[in-house]
Structure 1
Amino acid sequence: MSEFKQTFNSSLGKKLIMALTGLFLCTFLIVHLGGNLLLFKNDEGYGFNLYANFLTHFPPIEVIAYLLYLSILVHAVYALVLTVKNRKARPVSYATINKSPATWSSKNMGLLGSILFLFIVIHMSDFWFAYKYSNKVTYKEYRTDLSTGKTTSVDYQPVTPEFEKSVSVENNTEVIRVKDLHARVASSFSNLLYVAFYVIAMFAVSFHLLHGFQSAFRTLGWVHRKYTPIVYFIGTWLFAVIIPIGFAAMPVVYYLQSISK
């Protein structure tokens, strides 16, 4: 047991934990982007609001969510510990110029990680915390005609503050009342400063993952002449290009819609 503890208290052990938590967070990004793409549906937030309610009320998902929060915290703390330890080990810069082919992202992971941690705190406070623990999120009522499939929506005011969601059928019409996180998203993304910060954070995500995804595989020893190019391809195009662009597109589109009204 002491050897196990000693291993994970070492620099290598901390890097292993960072690699594992980092890959878990990469998996989350794919799922999160898939759900957030519902924001682009022209359905007055119907799909996205039901998705948000499902995420916050389905027990297995809630367990995974708390594992996610723990992974974010552990990843950030261990990154800070390793950064401080490396600087203490080399308090004075080398007199000679380092000509190693290190990328900009690999040399600035601390800065990128700090931007991302700040973004996560603000993002979760504005959406997740507001959704679950405050009265800042309004409610929506969706009525779907079961014979035609047409859905209409109106604002809804619950009778009790504990209300979360209700589903019923009235005269061949499905009635769903749920928290309107979609309206919260639209309101937040109408703020130019918030949108700008969000886009900057997505640039940080891009550069952070450009180095971090590939580095995690190297740390875990999953390096192979045949498969390493595939890892680099996925790390570059999926995690450093497609995912950040997908996330950044949401606030930009909503902001453009808000100023065109």
Structure 2
Amino acid sequence: MPRQPVPTSSRWTIYTTNPAKGEPLKSAPLSSSSTVHTEVSAEKQTDPAEQEIPSVISHLTQFKHLLCGPCKSVVPYKTLYHHLRHHHDIRHAFCKAIVSKYENVSVSQTDTDVTPLSAGTPPLDCLMPPELGYFCPRCDYTTVNWDSLLHHFRKTQCDRGRRTRDDLLCFLQRWVSVRKNVGRAWRVDTTIPVTQRETDVALSCDQSVVDDPATVALLRMEAEEEARLLREEQESMSLSNELEHDEKTD
């Protein structure tokens, strides 16, 4: 049986007797005082998609990618609805409105379209800050795991020569941050000192939305602390390499 449309206006009749006392129900005269009208205003009937759409997606025209602002991550067009709906719990109508906005725009469609930039590219402020990793000196392979790089050397024609672990250290950045298995990372420019680079990246990512001096100072402290931890990790790796070298010479 087909469902009947729900009316936007209803009439309710008020009964004046109390059935709990055994009195028969009697309807009151149909007057303005005993009849309740409910009407849905035109404003409340507005399609949610016509209301203000959350501005979470931006178009990186230079790279032809869609960027999710809260995630600082590129989202291919064909997975845009799923990302908005399930990662950010945005309403269905809003998701459809956002997706339709980029329907005829030339952007990456699938994961295979998300390719790394060239090595040595300056860090992009709109993405997550660079992370410490390793690179292959013979090809464009990069990884954040040292054992993965050693496995790469064993399984390929690539040879690291006399390069140590420290020699192959680098900073990496990637398009997609919410799914690590999508899109390879690339080496970013390492000519800027670690402390300055990490501080600048953190501030450039947040300065556009934060104007409070106290908050900016806190962001700077966090960036400097992160840079300090990176330096300690590098020093620890250097010590590990020295011990490894001493063991081999013995």
TM-score by length of 2: 0.33
Rg comparison, structure with higher value: 2
> 1 or 2 for the larger relative contact order (CA 8 Å, sep ≥6)?
1
Which one has a larger percent helix, Structure 1 or Structure 2? 1
TM-score by length of 1: 0.32
